[in-house]
Structure 1
Amino acid sequence: MSAQILDAIDHLGVYQVYTGGGTGTGFLIDATHLVTNSHVVSPYRTVAVEMRDRTRILGTVRRVHPQRDLAVVELSRPVDGAVLPLSDIEQYRPKQPVHILGFPVGLPLSLTEGVISHPRQLLDEQYFLQTDAAINPGNSGGPMLDDEQRIIAVTTCKLNEADAVGFGIPVADVRRFVEEFRAQSVPFGVQCPACDELIAKATRYCPSCGSNLDTRDDFKEFFHTPDAHPVADFVERALAKANVDPVLARHGDLNWSFYNGSAPIKVWCCCSDHLNFSSRLAQPGKRGLNDLFRFLLSAEHAPFFFDLAGSTIRMNLVIHMSDVFTPAEHDDLVERVGRFITKADSADNLLIKTYGCLPAPETQTDFLDAPAHENA
């Protein structure tokens, strides 16, 4: 079973989900919809989903069940990953093998294995499938499979206080959630945490059971998007000005990552004082190093600069946080960010073609070799 899954892992419809709060995993239920955890997408209504070739597409959240920690995301276009079937078996036994697919701590799609520790573990007044298989941040929302490659649960959490204690939402709950979504007549809805009634707009009380929904942040946040952090507001405005979709670039809290042509670009706050833009472009070759380093150290690149991270040449732009919080500086800074993004896309080609460097591991070499990039 393990070898069969590993041989076909890149063909499975299991994808990484990115938001402004973090990352998680989702799996296809058809070519245009995937299931993930509610806490993976919360509080966002639009997310990014990364394909195997590292391109990202938009996903729109269509249904959320905060209490059961499930969500359905509609993709902006069909994808061709293999759809794993939901098991129709509801009774499982301890020590039965279980296989977990996901993106632990942001790594590529990975498989971990273990056994069912308890098929119906009661936790917080809900039943979960308990397993000893390794679960890490980023696995949330991914499928748990049996030996027949059928989904038996959706990974949801682990106990931080214990090793080898993880939980999944049983497939019976997942199947019911999916069936109810198929019958949904509104574009978006959040299920009442108390009675499961689907609610399509902000309201104080559930129209079915009367529960006070104002006391439930996990309900309210999907109808009242919080104000963006000032740093996020600046970065996403600068990215949009440079024709980069900020939703597709989100990579967690005050983190962004995207490609411009062949160049990978990351944006993050390393501390309270600096906002960093960085692109890992190339690795030095074995000859012509004097000319290479003379070029890299030239003052002509200012306000950008190059450095070496291990054996990888990076181009960087650092903005002081005081400037980010000074609106009068924003127009110049936005223009500077745009120039950085443009230059990164041509700099990797220059380093490789002129100075004999090798592409960095993250460089999109297929794009680098394209005729359009040669003329950039």
Structure 2
Amino acid sequence: MKAFSKVAGRLHGQKMFQILAQAKELEQKGIDVIHLEIGDPDFDSPPKVIEAACSALQSGFTHYTISAGMKEFREVAAKVTQRSRGFLPTIDQILVTPGANIQLYLAIACLVNPGEEVIITDPCFVSYTSIIELCGAKAVKVPLYESNEFRIDPKDLRKAVTKKTRMIIINSPNNPTGAVMNEEEIKEIYEIAESFDLYLLSDEVYGRMVYKDDDTQFFTPTVYDQCKERTLLVHSFSKSYAMTGWRIGAIAGPEEVVRRMALLLETITSCVSPFIQLAAIQAMTSSQDKIDDMISTYRKRRDIIVSGLNDIDGIQCLKPGGAFYVFPNIKGTGLTAEEFSNQVLEKTGVATCPGNYFGEAGEGYVRFCYANSDEKILEALDRIKKFLH
């Protein structure tokens, strides 16, 4: 067989899916596995969304549509942005995509040249590093510290800027830590991007999932230029609406940037299925009460898992302000992140994700996703506690 391309050699994938595959193999052997490794809500997609998709299919919305996305979708998305972020983008600032992961690729491929630099955090969502490397660019990592509740320090970010820097990527609420940045931090990061004339990509897929206790609030840098000059707003329906399998999202940015990204999307995937876009419109326009209830449930589960982890000798866990992840410190167990995750899966049937999968600074930590039932979370905690003692 001939050698693979250099691009193929730079592919890493998402390791949490590899852990999921391991867990599924154990289940096939009859082992009861509790899944806390992957960010997939245990709720079903909203019934009205499913009905809208079925109706659209039956009505013939099964053909190509324009690559930028249906006008109706982008109009509704613009109004949702106005309500949630405080500014009204034009529909030409919005691109409909199959999920949020591809938005990262489209933005980096269209804005960052090979050899240029993109500043990200460490730890961070695994796709950031993979896509940056795939595009031939360099990921410059700014460590997050438990002592700062895993929020990025703008001073550290400023020090990471060089003449080769092209883009900054931030993620609040954060995956894998659940950290939520405050207004002062968000504003200072925008000012850094502005002073060095950099693009600022704000990954806000967990933007709805902020637990408004202890004065925690959601802030976005996109309000400062309204996505007209340098900010890009990444959004997905996967987490907020429990629609991970639908693969639908939208990115907002400067019109010319969005036009270029639309051309790239057109080249590699043509368009997003119209019946899925119509279902997403239903998600945006329906009552949000069930979504609010779902988020309240996540908050309750967060409290359960944080309390339970802190009750286990050798583990310390901060209470995060958002998303549906916790990132406990497991150094007191004497195990590395991978040893902990592997042994807990093999010995107890609880699937988790090692922190070092999200970056070198994640060593000594493990990500738990609490998008599972109260009963399963409590059972997982009991199994881990018995295993460690």
**Is TM > 0.5 for Structure 1 vs Structure 2?**
no
TM-score by length of 1: 0.21
Name whichever structure is richer in helix by fraction: 2
Larger RCO, structure (CA 8 Å, separation 6 or more): 2
TM-score by length of 2: 0.20
